[in-house]
Amino acid sequence: MAKVAFVITPEYTRTMPHLGIAYLRAIASQHGHETRYFDLSAKYRLESFFASILHSWINTYSKRTRMQTLFAFLPSIVAYFEPPPDMNQNTRMLFLLLKSESEKMATEILEYQPDIVCFSIFDTTLFLSLSVARELKKRNNSLKIIFGGPFLNDKRVQDFVLLFNDCIDHIVVGEGEEIINDLIENSIPSQNRIICTEAISSLDNLPFPVFDGCDFEMYKKVMYTEKNWRGLAVIDEKILPLMAMRGCPFNCAFCDHHVVWKEYRSRRVENVIKEIIHEQATYDCHVFRFNDSLINSNPKWLKALCQAILDNDLRIYWYAHCRADMLNDDLARLMYRAGCRYLKFGIESASQPVLRLMNKKITPESALKAIESANHANIKTRASFIYAYPGETAQNLQETVDFLKQCGNKFYGVRIYSFIFMPGTPLELEASLHNVTLHNFSSTSQKFASALGQIPETWSHPVINEEVIAQRDELVQPVVKAINQIHKNYLPYMFSELIESKINNNTLFEFIKSAVLKLKETDTSPDTVKIYASSGATFVLSKKCYSLFQEITSATFNDLKTIIMNEENLVSHEASVLIIGLISSGMLKLKK
- Walk me through the domains of the chain, giving residue ranges and CATH numbers: 3-203 (3.40.50.280), 225-420 (3.20.20.70), 466-488+508-585 (no CATH)
How would you write the pLDDT of the chain (592 residues) with one tens digit per residue? Answer: 899 999 998 766 677 899 999 999 999 999 999 999 999 876 664 343 333 333 333 333 333 333 333 333 232 222 222 233 333 333 444 444 466 678 889 999 999 999 999 999 987 788 788 889 989 999 999 999 999 998 898 887 787 788 777 889 999 999 999 999 999 998 888 888 999 999 999 999 999 999 999 988 777 765 543 233 333 334 457 889 999 999 999 999 989 888 889 899 999 999 999 999 999 999 999 999 999 999 999 999 999 999 999 999 999 999 999 999 999 999 999 999 999 999 999 999 999 999 999 999 999 999 999 999 999 999 988 888 887 777 777 778 778 877 877 776 788 777 777 677 777 788 877 766 666 655 444 444 444 444 443 332 222 333 334 454 454 445 444 444 444 443 343 323 222 222 222 222 233 334 333 433 333 333 344 555 554 433 333 434 455 555 555 555 455 445 544 554 444 443 333 344 444 444 433 333 333 3
In the structure, how many helices (H) and strands (E) does the chain have? 25, 17
Q: Show Cβ contacts of residue 561 under 8 Å, excluding neighbours closer than 6 positions.
A: 474, 475, 478
Among residues 286, 344, 297, 351, the alpha carbon closest in space to that of 319 is found at: 344
Q: Return the bridge partners of 141, or none.
A: none
- CA separation, residue 64 to residues 41, 496, 583 (Å): 11, 11, 17
The SS3 of residue 102 is helix
Alpha carbon 451 to chain centroid distance?
24
Dihedral over alpha carbons 410, 411, 412, 417 (to 10 degrees): -160
pLDDT at 316: 94
Residue-wise burial string across 293-327, b where 16 or more C-beta atoms lie within 10 A, e elsewhere: bbbbbbeebbbbbbebbeeeebebbbbbbbbbbbb
pLDDT at 411: 80
E strands, 140-259, are: 144-148, 170-173, 194-196, 239-242, 245-246
Q: In what order do the strands lie in the sheet with 116-120?
A: 34-39, 3-8, 116-120, 144-148, 170-173, 194-196
Burial, 556: exposed, middle or buried (Cβ in 10 Å; 0-12, 13-18, 19+)?
exposed
CA–CA dist 308, 289 (Å, integer): 17
pLDDT at 456: 28
Among residues 399, 379, 380, 397, the alpha carbon closest in space to that of 388 is found at: 397
Q: Show Cβ contacts of residue 429 under 8 Å, excluding neighbours closer than 6 positions.
A: none
Q: 451 φ, ψ to 5°?
A: -75, -35
The SS3 of residue 93 is helix
Q: Return the bridge partners of 287, or none.
A: 239, 317
Among residues 446, 453, 461, 457, the alpha carbon closest in space to that of 89 is found at: 461
With residue 129 as reference, give the H or E element that holds it: helix 126-139
Among residues 118, 162, 117, the alpha carbon closest in space to that of 140 is found at: 117
Confirm if 340 and 313 have CB atoms less than 8 A apart: no
Burial, 460: exposed, middle or buried (Cβ in 10 Å; 0-12, 13-18, 19+)?
exposed
Q: What sign results for the dihedral spanned by CA atoms 475, 478, 484, 488?
A: negative
Angle, CA 134 vertex, CA 132 and CA 135 arms, to 5°: 65
Q: What is the DSSP string of 286-346?
A: -EEEE-SS-TTSSHHHHHHHHHHHHHTT---EEEEEE-TTS--HHHHHHHHHTTEEEEEEE
Q: What are all long-range contacts of 486-493, with beta carbons under 8 Å and residues at least 24 apart?
A: 486/570, 486/571, 486/573, 486/576, 490/226, 491/225, 491/226, 491/227, 491/412, 491/413, 492/62, 492/64, 492/65, 492/226, 493/413, 493/415
Confirm if 163 and 136 have CB atoms less than 8 A apart: no
Confirm if 140 and 422 have CB atoms less than 8 A apart: no
CA–CA dist 224, 440 (Å, integer): 41
The SS3 of residue 116 is strand
pLDDT at 498: 27
Maximum separation of any 2 CA atoms in the chain, in Å: 72
Neighbours of 462 (CB within 10 A): 7
pLDDT at 544: 54
Q: What sign results for the dihedral spanned by CA atoms 180, 186, 192, 193?
A: positive
The SS3 of residue 5 is strand
pLDDT at 402: 79
pLDDT at 453: 37
Q: Show Cβ contacts of residue 420 under 8 Å, excluding neighbours closer than 6 positions.
A: 75, 76, 79, 534, 535
CA–CA dist 330, 346 (Å, integer): 21
E strands, 352-501, are: 380-387, 413-418, 500-501
The β-bridge relationship of strands 239-242 and 245-246 is unpaired
Alpha carbon 364 to chain centroid distance?
26
